[in-house]
Amino acid sequence: MLLRVVHRTTYQYTSAVTLGHSQLRLTPRTFHRQRTLSSRVTITPGPSTRRDWTDCYGNDAIYFTLEEPHRELSIESRALVDVFVGSQLPVNDTQPWEYTRSVLRTPETPEAIEAQAFLFDSFRAERSPEALDYALPSFRAGISLTDAVRDLTSRIYRDFRYDPAATNIHTTTKHLLGDRRGVCQDFAHLEIACLRSLGLAARYISGYMLTRPPPGKVKMVGADASHAWVSVYFPERGWIDLDPTNDRTPGDDYITLGWGRDYDDVSPARGLVLGGGGGRLAVSVDVAEQPANLGRVPL
Amino acid sequence: MNDAVITSVAEQRKLFANYRVAPNVYDEALTADGQVRPTWQRFCARLEQVGLAGVGQRADQARRLLRENGVTYNDVGAPQGPDRPWELDPLPVLIGRAEWTALTEGIVQRAVLLNAFLADIYGPQRLLREKILPPAVVYEHPGFLHPCRGLTPLGGRHLTLYAANLIRGADGAWCVLADRTQGPSGVGYALENRIVISRTLPRDYESLYIERLAPFFITVRETLRGLAPRHRDNPRVVLLSPGPRSTRYFEDGYLARYLGYALVEGGDLTVRGEHVFLKTLGGLMPVDVILRRIFDEDCDALELRPDSSLGTPGLMQAARFGNLALANAAGSGYLEAPALMPFWPRICQFLLSEDLKLPCSPTMWCGRPDDLRQVERELDNLLIRPAFIHQNLPPVDTSRMAQVQRQQLWQEILAHPHRFVAKRPDSRSTAPTWNGRELAPARLVLRTFGIASGDSYQIMPGGLCRVADPESSWGESASSGQSSKDVWVLSDGPVQSVTLLPRSTTAVELRRSINDLPSRVADNLFWLGRNAERAEAVVRMLRSCVVRLTSDLEPTGIADLVTLIGSLPAVKQSLVAAKGNGKIVAVESDSDVNPAIAKLREQVFEGIFNPQRRGSLAQHLHCFRDTATSVRDRLSVDSWRIVNQLRLEDALPPTPANARMGDVLLLLNQVLNLLAAFMGLGTESMTRSPGWRFLDIGRRIERALKILHLVRSSLVEAVEPISSLLEAVLEIADCSMTYRHRYLASLQLAPLLDLVLVDETNPRAVGYQLNALSEHVAELPSDSGLSPRTPEQRTMLAAQSALRLTDVEALCEIDASGKRMALDRFIDGLETQLLRLAEDLTHHYLTHTVAARQIDTALPN
């Protein structure tokens, strides 16, 4: 599916910011399931310095500084992405999930060795007895990894209420397990914590999904948001994505921006400023399907 | 020769009479059968000549020198207070040339190995791919910094400075106890120890051919200069310190001064584009190399710990794209993990194809199943510590634990085995140490230092020895243990003397004015001046109150006292109550115990001693010491000694009721003398650099403000008779002498106002302060050519004109409300100008001291 995304972020400050340093991860990544046909990130006011580079996970990153006083900063990212294929759980998976755990313990392939980087705690997705307790009912002995992760994803979907008011950037998985309410990033961090507690490798995916309006309604422009889900390592098959917020595997209607151990590794924008007073943040995201014959027009 | 040795053996009975080498312990000086080892013979022979009394004298002398040089260890939370004096044993540890050469080879190999290790683990990770290292050792470690993966430091070298903690086992072989790779502490103390010891033992020092330390520091400077990506002729190297609250601060200042680098904190640096700059009064100066003494994760809040303000946002980017050399590179702190210890032999084989020359102290990492089982078996006699982040704390000694505690610990280990390492109690060598009465064996840890040089490393011929009682358990920090020792590497022949001062053959460029004063330092000096002057003003005020409380009070005297006390900010809240009483007091003043006077006494005491009270002397002195600490590297040793004496804590009377007013008066006089001495040293010893100007500006602004405050609070309201109040004002303003000289005994308001406000020749008058300020402001660095006058200069001109044009007689008039409103308005105007000056200066020169903050981010949902 050919998808076009426009992601605008605007900061308005009550007093002038005199110096700002920022990092962006807003360029969809090209990998075996998708190709970024074109992408452009526009920063206003024009940054004093800008550098596009590749971070340690292979994601496209942008570093920029603003060295002139400014009261507003807007970042607009536009991209056209060809998503070839969605993520699919293996069919007829008969291998018990414990097999994956043992492969990760004594890996033989370079891929499995690399996957080990995602076995351990990160700041927002730490292994814990609580996460393990929550995960275990889905991981009975001998059950296949496919069935187990599908069940775990569904249970998170059923057991937790989607509630943007209940969460903030500092919500921890322990807190979430008590409160049972949160948003996509919380569910993703919880599922990652569960999988790592079991000795499996899991990573955090930052991206977007195409939302379709209810039947008969017109889609609202800009009403989408950035999204997050998880990816699980399967020996021989590689990384397979799951979306606990929507209880599904991401299809070709999902755009991947990048991945890391958790939100901190791939947050779309982070930065430090001098001055600024109180600030106001406005974000709008719009994902739309692009008819194939228009696919190659410039942005 | 033989005779000398025989005498020494005989004499040594006296010196080592009660010295017992413990069984199964290697002693540095004596063999198991009590013979002096060959390396020590010459030294011990010299020692015998001075005898025990002589050693004691040298110990005292060393202590005195260290106190005089102000050598301390900033040990927050220590019982002796935060600034603990540095302890140094008068006897060094001696190591022979041959042994040292062998040891050095091992340390060099280890430094090379550690550097290669970093290059691999932040690069291709062959160690993981080939399964030399289990991934948990890498990824479980919070000090393994993912953003550093793929980041190749300038010149490809991660490790520039290195320190190894070594111990010597019973068999006499050295082994590595720990590695230190984050701006290792101790190198400055090692240098200071050497300086002090060489002064206490000058003749021994000459005769023994001791290797000098200076060549090591010359290499440090050459290596750091060589790292610079640009300005290769004259790169700017700075020493990045965590600041005065850090345990390392003394050494940071010491090293910066010795090596000739600017001592900076994270807030002094700024990244513009992908380059680092130092914020100075003269503008932004490019920085090429950072000698980093802050921890890895604090370097850059943009990429590493987001809540840390010790570093500078953008630093990593500057390093990533080759515009900045960090020594050591970010991420090198990972090497300090005790969990790595068991793996070094294999890592060495893998990376260098060599055997480890210097073995590691045997360590069990509970993340390995075999080690975990071993730990379980030996749990009743092990030393347990965290596997990843070392905390500079002594390890947990399970042999001293109750069974219940031990089981709890075991459960903790089982829950997270990879987080713990265990060691068997090690045997450490002993060396003769002065215990105040005689020589006694103390166990030692030797910290050695290396600096990259070419493709290899140069090791400091010497080091820092920490010693402690054989019984005490201790950590691995540069300050652990009880005392330190100098380390002498004995050369075979005379040692050439080297100095860090420039050789005479290279012409030094003469520099008079140095504009690269960091803005933060200017800011701190400005506040140091203000705080010193504030403290002085409060002392003078309090002293006048105390004088009046000690003398027999006339009824009018009480009223004056109430007014005076009322103008102390510390007692403002109770002013209303006291004033209400004032009238009653006047009537009842003949009674023996006057409750109102008791109340005033109490107020004055609070104003002096209560550190919680806003504006009290205790609080002012606290602020003063705090600011002084933050610019300690700019203060002379003499000034620092005065700062140390300016504390009231030791002089605190039990209660106001049973303290003698006379004693309090003496104390206040003493404080005043010390403050005067501090200011005098500043005036007489500091070069007229921008730093001195900011110190003096702070002091002048504050003095002018204080005089204005005094005049306003005591003289705007018309009180009769006025003469005793005028006398008090003159006394507090330190103008009594001048006034009497000029006007004899006739106390009148107009001449007083002229003397304390307008007179530009009176160093205590407002007019004098304005003149001084206006001169300072004209001399500060400015973007010349933009406008004829800076805002500060305009402000000063306005204030000076207002003061010069004023009609003093008119200020004395009392209006219908019974107040001198003209005086009030006039003071108000001057105050506004002075505050504006402070604001303008801050805005122009000092604003860069604000900390950056994180911007909000939108959550995905």
What are the pLDDT digits (tens) for A211-246?
Answer: 888 777 777 666 688 999 999 999 989 999 999 999
- Rounded-to-integer distance, Cα B778 and Cα B797, Å: 11
Residue in A120, A167, A271 closest to B139 by CB: A120
Is A4 in the B-facing interface, judged by CB distances under 8 Å?
no
Is B20 in the A-facing interface, judged by CB distances under 8 Å?
no
The tokens of A131 are what? 């996460």
Is B301 in the A-facing interface, judged by CB distances under 8 Å?
yes
The tokens of B651 are what? 């002089």
The tokens of A200 are what? 């499996």
The pLDDT of residue B468 is 86
Q: What is the mean pLDDT of residues B485-489?
A: 95
The pLDDT of residue A151 is 97
Q: Which of B532, B535, B628, B526 is nearest to B838 (CA)?
A: B526
**What are B488's strand-pairing partners?**
B94
Is B272 in the A-facing interface, judged by CB distances under 8 Å?
yes
User: Residue A156 — φ and ψ, nearest 5°?
Assistant: -60, -40
- Rounded-to-integer distance, Cα B230 and Cα A27, Å: 33
Kindly determine whether residue B302 and residue A21, on different chains, have CB atoms separated by under 8 Å. yes
3-state secondary structure of B277: strand
Report angle CA A182, A185, A191 to the nearest 5 degrees.
90
The pLDDT of residue B280 is 85
| pLDDT confidence tier of residue B479, bands split at 50, 70 and 90 | low
Residue B317 distance to chain A (closest CA, Å): 8
Tens of pLDDT along B15-27? 888 898 888 899 9
Query: In the predicted model, is pLDDT for residue B601 greater than 90?
Result: no
Q: Is B462 left (phi over 0), alpha (psi -120 to 50) or beta?
A: left
The tokens of A116 are what? 């080990």
- The 8-class DSSP code of residue B845 comes to I
Give the type of residue at B494: P
Kindly determine whether residue B861 and residue A225, on different chains, have CB atoms separated by under 8 Å. yes
| pLDDT confidence tier of residue B579, bands split at 50, 70 and 90 | very low
The pLDDT of residue B509 is 45
Kindly determine whether residue B273 and residue A48, on different chains, have CB atoms separated by under 8 Å. yes
Is A15 in the B-facing interface, judged by CB distances under 8 Å?
no
- Rounded-to-integer distance, Cα A200 and Cα A91, Å: 20
Is B303 in the A-facing interface, judged by CB distances under 8 Å?
yes
The pLDDT of residue A290 is 86
CB B100 within 8 A of CB B238: no
Tell me which chain B residues have a C-beta less than 8 angstroms from the C-beta of A268. Answer: 857-858, 860
What percent of chain A stands above pLDDT 70? 95
- Rounded-to-integer distance, Cα A271 and Cα B314, Å: 10
Kindly determine whether residue B860 and residue A275, on different chains, have CB atoms separated by under 8 Å. no
- Rounded-to-integer distance, Cα B391 and Cα B476, Å: 9
Mutate to test the interface with B, among A63, A108, A184, A245 (most CBs of B within 10 A): A63
Residue A248 distance to chain B (closest CA, Å): 16
> Which residues have a Cβ under 8 Å from the Cβ of B48 and sit 6 or more positions away?
B7, B8, B11, B12, B14, B15
Tens of pLDDT along B715-727? 888 777 777 788 8
Query: In the predicted model, is pLDDT for residue B481 greater than 50?
Result: yes
Kindly determine whether residue B274 and residue A51, on different chains, have CB atoms separated by under 8 Å. yes
Tens of pLDDT along B660-713? 777 888 889 999 999 999 999 888 888 788 888 999 999 999 999 999 999 988
Mutate to test the interface with B, among A51, A161, A233, A272 (most CBs of B within 10 A): A272
Tell me which chain A residues have a C-beta less than 8 angstroms from the C-beta of B277. Answer: none
What percent of chain B stands above pLDDT 90? 48
Print burial letters for A250-269: b (CB count within 10 Å at least 16), e (below 16).
bbbbbbbbbbbbbbbbbbbb
Total Cβ atoms within 10 A of residue B304 = 21
Residue in A49, A110, A119 closest to B273 by CB: A49
Residue B116 distance to chain A (closest CA, Å): 20
Q: Which of B730, B729, B725 is nearest to B740 (CA)?
A: B730
Is B323 in the A-facing interface, judged by CB distances under 8 Å?
no
Q: Which of B287, B284, B326 is nearest to B303 (CA)?
A: B326
Tell me which chain A residues have a C-beta less than 8 angstroms from the C-beta of B305. Answer: none
Total Cβ atoms within 10 A of residue A18 = 17
Is B331 in the A-facing interface, judged by CB distances under 8 Å?
no
- Rounded-to-integer distance, Cα B319 and Cα B276, Å: 9
Tell me which chain B residues have a C-beta less than 8 angstroms from the C-beta of A265. Answer: 146
Residue B136 distance to chain A (closest CA, Å): 8
The tokens of B303 are what? 């990429």
The pLDDT of residue B496 is 67
| pLDDT confidence tier of residue B178, bands split at 50, 70 and 90 | very high
The pLDDT of residue B108 is 98
**What are B466's strand-pairing partners?**
B445, B484
Residue in A67, A227, A276 closest to B860 by CB: A227
Higher pLDDT, A147 or B73: A147
Print burial letters for A104-129: b (CB count within 10 Å at least 16), e (below 16).
beebeeeebbbbbbbbbbbebbbbbe
Helical (H) or strand (E) element with B270: strand B269-272
The pLDDT of residue B200 is 85
- Rounded-to-integer distance, Cα B465 and Cα B486, Å: 6
- Rounded-to-integer distance, Cα A202 and Cα A196, Å: 7
Is A143 in the B-facing interface, judged by CB distances under 8 Å?
no
Question: Would you give the end-to-end CA distance of chain A in angstroms?
Answer: 17
Mutate to test the interface with B, among A21, A59, A127, A229 (most CBs of B within 10 A): A21
Bond from prior residue into B721 cis (ω within 30 degrees of 0): yes
Tell me which chain B residues have a C-beta less than 8 angstroms from the C-beta of A116. Answer: 128, 135, 139
CB burial class (10 A; 0-12, 13-18, 19+) of residue A75?
buried
Tens of pLDDT along B348-383? 999 999 999 999 999 999 999 999 999 999 999 999
CB B464 within 8 A of CB B487: yes
Tell me which chain A residues have a C-beta less than 8 angstroms from the C-beta of B858. Answer: 9, 225-226, 268-269, 281, 283
Kindly determine whether residue A22 and residue B860, on different chains, have CB atoms separated by under 8 Å. no
CB B401 within 8 A of CB B63: no
Is A169 in the B-facing interface, judged by CB distances under 8 Å?
yes
Query: In the predicted model, is pLDDT for residue B576 greater than 50?
Result: no
Query: In the predicted model, is pLDDT for residue B657 greater than 80?
Result: no
Tell me which chain B residues have a C-beta less than 8 angstroms from the C-beta of A111. Answer: none
- Rounded-to-integer distance, Cα A238 and Cα B616, Å: 69
By mean pLDDT, which of B3-12, B28-37, B288-297, B677-686 is the weakest? B3-12
Query: In the predicted model, is pLDDT for residue A295 greater than 60?
Result: no
Tell me which chain A residues have a C-beta less than 8 angstroms from the C-beta of B146. Answer: 56, 261, 265
3-state secondary structure of B489: strand
Higher pLDDT, B593 or B403: B403
CB B680 within 8 A of CB B510: no
* Three-state secondary structure of chain A: CEEEEEEEEEEEEEEEEEEEEEEECCCCCCECCEEEEEEEEEEECCCCEEEEEECCCCCEEEEEEECCCEEEEEEEEEEEEEECCCCCCCCCCCCEHHHHHHHHHCCCCHHHHHHHHHCCCECCECCCHHHHHHHHHHCCCCCEHHHHHHHHHHHHHHHCEECHHHCCCCCCHHHHHHHCEECHHHHHHHHHHHHHHCCCCEEEEEEEECCCCCCCCCCCCCEECCEEEEEEEECCCEEEEEECCCCECCCCCEEEEEEECCHHHHCCEEEEEEECCCEEEEEEEEEEECCHHHCCCCC
Tell me which chain B residues have a C-beta less than 8 angstroms from the C-beta of A183. Answer: 859-861
**What are A20's strand-pairing partners?**
A66, A273
Q: Which of A79, A88, A29, A128 is nearest to A231 (CA)?
A: A88
Query: In the predicted model, is pLDDT for residue B340 greater than 60?
Result: yes
- Rounded-to-integer distance, Cα B735 and Cα B762, Å: 8
The pLDDT of residue B267 is 87
3-state secondary structure of B284: strand
Is B129 in the A-facing interface, judged by CB distances under 8 Å?
yes
Q: Which of B58, B141, B517, B522 is nearest to B334 (CA)?
A: B141
CB B715 within 8 A of CB B729: yes
Give the global pTM: 0.82
The single residue listed with the structure tokens 């206040």 is: B668
Is B856 in the A-facing interface, judged by CB distances under 8 Å?
yes
Report angle CA B852, B855, B856 to the nearest 5 degrees.
155
- Quote the mean pLDDT of chain A: 91
Residue A297 distance to chain B (closest CA, Å): 29
- Rounded-to-integer distance, Cα A98 and Cα A112, Å: 15
Tell me which residues of chain B, numbers 544 to 563, contact chain A at a CB-CB cutoff of 8 Å. none
Mutate to test the interface with A, among B133, B275, B309, B855 (most CBs of A within 10 A): B855
Residue A244 distance to chain B (closest CA, Å): 12
The pLDDT of residue B590 is 36
Q: What is the mean pLDDT of residues B42-46?
A: 88
- Rounded-to-integer distance, Cα B466 and Cα B193, Å: 12
Instruction: Search chain A and give the residue with CA nearest B128.
Output: A113
Instruction: Search chain B and give the residue with CA nearest A245.
Output: B861
By mean pLDDT, which of B91-105, B358-372, B463-477, B489-503 is the weakest? B489-503
Tens of pLDDT along B509-525? 444 445 578 888 888 89
| pLDDT confidence tier of residue B86, bands split at 50, 70 and 90 | confident
The pLDDT of residue B240 is 96
Tens of pLDDT along B751-801? 999 999 999 999 999 999 999 999 999 888 776 555 667 888 889 999 999
The single residue listed with the structure tokens 């947050």 is: A267
The pLDDT of residue B600 is 77
Query: In the predicted model, is pLDDT for residue B554 greater than 60?
Result: no
* Three-state secondary structure of B414-450: HHCHHHEEEECCCCCCEEEEECCCCEEEEEEEEEEEE
Is A51 in the B-facing interface, judged by CB distances under 8 Å?
yes
Report angle CA B769, B775, B781 to the nearest 5 degrees.
130
Helical (H) or strand (E) element with B269: strand B269-272
Kindly determine whether residue A19 and residue B852, on different chains, have CB atoms separated by under 8 Å. yes
In this prediction the ipTM stands at 0.93
CB B314 within 8 A of CB B300: yes
**What are A240's strand-pairing partners?**
A232
Helices and strands (H and E) in chain B: how many: 28, 22
Tens of pLDDT along B426-469? 889 999 999 888 999 999 999 999 999 999 999 999 999 999 88
The tokens of B286 are what? 């490019």
What is each CA distance from B151 to A139, B120, B366, in whole angstroms? 39, 11, 31
CB burial class (10 A; 0-12, 13-18, 19+) of residue B760?
middle
CB A93 within 8 A of CB A148: no
> In sequence order, which ranges of B491-573 are alpha helices (DSSP H)?
519-550, 555-566
Tell me which chain B residues have a C-beta less than 8 angstroms from the C-beta of A10. Answer: none
* Three-state secondary structure of B591-606: CCCCHHHHHHHHHHHH
Kindly determine whether residue A56 and residue B861, on different chains, have CB atoms separated by under 8 Å. no
Q: What is the mean pLDDT of residues B641-657?
A: 72
The pLDDT of residue B506 is 40
Residue in B306, B852, B857 closest to A274 by CB: B852
Is B53 in the A-facing interface, judged by CB distances under 8 Å?
no
DSSP labels, B147-207: GGTT-PPGGG-S-SEEEEEEEE-TTS-EEEEEEE-SS-TTHHHHHHHHHHHHHHSHHHHHH
